[in-house]
Structures are given as structure tokens and as C-alpha cells.
Amino acid sequence: MIALSLAEIAGLLGGTLHLVGDDTADTLVDGTVDTDSRLIAPGGIFVAKPGEETDGHRFVGAAVANGAALALVEHVVDEPVSQIVVADVVDALAVLAEAVVARVRAAGNLRIVGVTGSNGKTTTKNFLLRILSDEGETVAPIASFNNEVGAPLTMLRVTEQTRYLVCEFGASAPGEIARLAGLVHPDVSIVLMVGLAHAGGFGGIEETARAKAELVTATRDGGTVVLNLDDPRVFAMRALAEERGLQVRGFGQGAAADVRAEDIAVSATGTSCLIVDADGQRLPLRLQVLGAHHINNALAAIAAVSVLGVSTQDAISRLETVEIAERWRMQPMGGDRVRIINDAYNASPDSMAAALRTLAQIVEPGQRTVAVLGAMSELGENAGEEHDRIGLLAVRLNIQRIVVVGADARRLFLAAIGEGSWDGEAVFFPTSDEAFAYLQTELREGDRVLVKSSNSAGLRHLGDRLGESFS
């Protein structure tokens, strides 16, 4: 974070400053900001966030032991550290982030890129980070820091030397993207797609589309919006962008896209295509990341950085060095005998379908496809129907073993059985331990195994166990 005095921070937050030890109102603080006391480093600011299971105020002492110079609290804690008392520490975190980014931006060097979409945000964020880091100091979210806490924590990592800030905006209800993106008003905003991820919180896909369009509304005056022209709901956001006087750059596979992909091919070692940019250049791209769906994420990143002056060739060269999208996202594990693809950090109907198609595409003659599938969360009233659809798709893709794990995913198993996978091709296990024991004896040389579920289903740890077992 940029250096601010204790008095400045208290003033920005409208909080009450309680000084401890040798601190004065003019004492400067410029350490990292975090809600996890274990991650606090000397000079850091600890945000004592109340939670459902515990209360951050209980860990102020641990933060002090790690060198915290300041605590943001909702009531004074008896610990030897200066504290600023505010009504709501999460709200205060957002206010502080907005103020810090505004100060850095006023210096004239900071450009901000925002990313949203039902799927692909984290991969696209990582692609942007890889490309822009060669241009200058770039701050981007750790993992999927895209909510009311994670997004401001990312913003607060900027300093006077930061040239690019990449923000990932997630949401589970209307208004969340508007609130978060409104803290920074991106110069370049990317909308990847509108799908059923978190649809239960929005009430349906049309409401989800309106929520994603909040990023277009929050884009800085005179900025640029990068839209997926292959998604009709995203394409429709062009009208809103043009109404605001924003520049629009489209990506996709259609001829109207400013950056498009042709001749997409998927193999067990990566994904390739031909990139055609707005200048008519036709350049090959060979991603190490598995899955045709990641080509659109690459297109979005290339289109966005072109606004910032990065050439298509430079963007492609840097993208080709990315080995995995993120841990637990199409992450190759295991060995040559049995290859595990651990994609169980998150799941929606769209990402589940894309991962299954990738699995079907990467096998060679004599190899077998195995899908280990868990529940997709936050689908609301669509949950049953969407689990049915994935079960049917797995059978129709001729996935040779379908291993369904967890009671919440049982309907997926029943759909696969109903579609014809009733002779041992589809099996169900209530727990990951039971599934692991089965797979230990079932998997054989040449198997290609996808592990896919929402984070809450916990199959990412099953994927790790399988990866280690068959390494």
C-alpha cells in the first residue's frame, strides 16, 4: 500500500484513532493489508473482520505478533497496536481501497483492467497478469480474490510504482459488481460470458446478464469495453457501451470480432489456434493450458492489452509461457501412465460441459476417458435440470467411466444411468474416500481422468490425492 499517516487513514474512514506506544497521528503505515492474521507481515494493517464461524477481533494479538502496525476494528481490542475503530470494517476496507487507488491514479501512471463473466475470470486475469507484467509492475488478485473483501485487498496492493491493476469482479447477487467496480472505474472492462454460475443468487440468467452489465456501466468515461461477441447476452451490452460513449472491442470466433480465433485444436499437451487481429495479422497461438474454452479467455486478454499498447505478437509470446490457468483449474497431474486433470476449484454448467468436451478431445486410440464429477453449487431452481444435462452430456460424449461423488450430485448419476450407462459405466459414491478407493483399483494405463466439481464439493483434494498416487 502507499504510505499514509494514521490520521489520514482515520480521516478517510471516518473512524476513531486509538494510539498505542510511540505512535503519533503522523506515524506512516505502508504495509500490506489483510484479513488473515497469519499473512500479516511487519508494518502491515490487519482488518479484524467478523465472520460466520469466528471473529477477526480474536486474532488481533496474532497479527501484532506477526508485526502488524495498525488494526482496523469495530471495537477497541486490548492489544499493543494502534487501532482505528469504524462501524463496519468491510465497508471501511472498500473506502480505503477506493481512496488509495484514486491517489495512485492521480499520479497519472496507473491503468486499470476489470474482468467479469460467469466463467473464465481467473484464467483471463492470469493471462493479463502474464502479459502486462513484462510492461511494468502489475497487481492482480491472488487466486479468486473477487468479492467484497478480496477485491479491495487486491486494490490496496498498489503503490506509486504500479503501472497496471487487474481486478476480477465476481458476484452472487445484483449490485455487487457495480459496487466493487465503482471503487476503481476500470479503463478497460472485459465481459467474458453470461452463464448459470451463481444463477440461484440472481434469480435467472437474464438477471445474471444485467448484473454482468454493471461492469460496463462502471467503466471509466472514455474507456473501452471488451465484449464476447459469440455470447448474445454479452453482445447486447454493446448498445449500453455505445450509449455511454465507450469504445468497444469484440472477441470471439465470428468475422465481426476485432480479435478472433480460427482452426482451434485441442490435445493432451495444450490448445492451439490461429489468431486474427484487427490489423489482419494471422498469428499462431499454442497454449499449454488445456481446453478450447480457454481460447476465448486468451482472445479477451489479447483484445484488452491491445488497448494498452501491447502488440498481438508480444501478447501471444507471453501467453504461450503460461503452464496452467491456476491451481485446480485444468491442472495436469499424475504421469504418463494415468493422466489426471484436476479442475475442481469451481464448476458451473458451462465450465462442466467445456471440461467434459476437453476430456473427450484429448484421448488417443487405446486410451480411456474417466470423469470424476461432483455437485455444481449455487444454481437455485436450475440445479436438478442442469445436473441432469451434464449426466446426459457425459454419456453422449462417450465418457467411458463416470464416477459421481456426493449426495448433491446423485441426480447427475441417475441421469447417466437413464441415458444408458447402467452396466458399470457410471458409479456413485457418497464420499471422496470411497471414490478414491474405487479409482485406486479401477484406473489403468492410458486412462485420462477429469476431476470436476464446485469448490464446496471438495473434489479438488481428491484430484490431488489421485495426482500424487499416479505420479
Q: Is 119 annotated as a binding residue?
A: yes
Q: Is 291 annotated as a binding residue?
A: no
Q: Taking Cα atoms as reference points, which of 323, 320, 327, 389 lies closest to residue 356?
A: 389
Strand 188-191 versus strand 224-228 pairing type: parallel
Q: Other CB atoms closer than 10 Å to residue 108's CB: what's the count? A: 6
Q: Taking Cα atoms as reference points, which of 118, 305, 117 lies closest to residue 215?
A: 117
Helix (H) or strand (E) holding 353: helix 349-362
φ, ψ of residue 306 to 5 degrees: the values are -65, -30
Q: Other CB atoms closer than 10 Å to residue 36's CB: what's the count? A: 14
Q: Is 120 annotated as a binding residue?
A: yes
Q: Is 271 annotated as a binding residue?
A: no
Residues in the chain, total: 471
Strand 331-334 versus strand 339-343 pairing type: antiparallel
Q: Is 121 annotated as a binding residue?
A: yes
Can you tell me the distance from the alpha carbon of 410 to that of 413, in angstroms, rounded to the nearest whole number?
5
Q: Taking Cα atoms as reference points, which of 89, 67, 91 lies closest to residue 79?
A: 67
441 three-class SS: helix
- List Cβ neighbours of 85 (8 Å cut-off, separation of 6 or more): 15, 16, 18, 73, 74, 75, 76
Range 391-397 contact pairs with CB under 8 angstroms and sequence separation of 24 or more: 391/415, 391/416, 391/418, 391/419, 391/426, 392/416, 392/419, 393/353, 393/356, 394/356, 394/421, 395/419, 395/420, 395/421, 395/425, 395/426, 397/356, 397/357, 397/359, 397/360, 397/369
Q: Is 118 annotated as a binding residue?
A: yes
Q: Is 458 annotated as a binding residue?
A: no
Give bridge partners of residue 248 from the DSSP assignment: 225
φ, ψ of residue 361 to 5 degrees: the values are -85, -20
Rounded to the nearest 10°, the torsion over CA 151, 157, 162, 168 is -20
Burial class (CB in 10 A: 0-12, 13-18, 19+), 213: buried
Take residue 387 and report the three cell numbers written for it: 445436473
Helix (H) or strand (E) holding 210: helix 205-212
Buried b (16+ CB within 10 A) or exposed e, 369-398: bbbbbbbbbbbeebbeebbbbbbbbbbebe
Q: Give 3-state DSSP helix, strand, coil % of the chain, rounded to 5.
A: 40, 20, 40
The binding site comprises 117-123
The binding site for ATP comprises 117-123
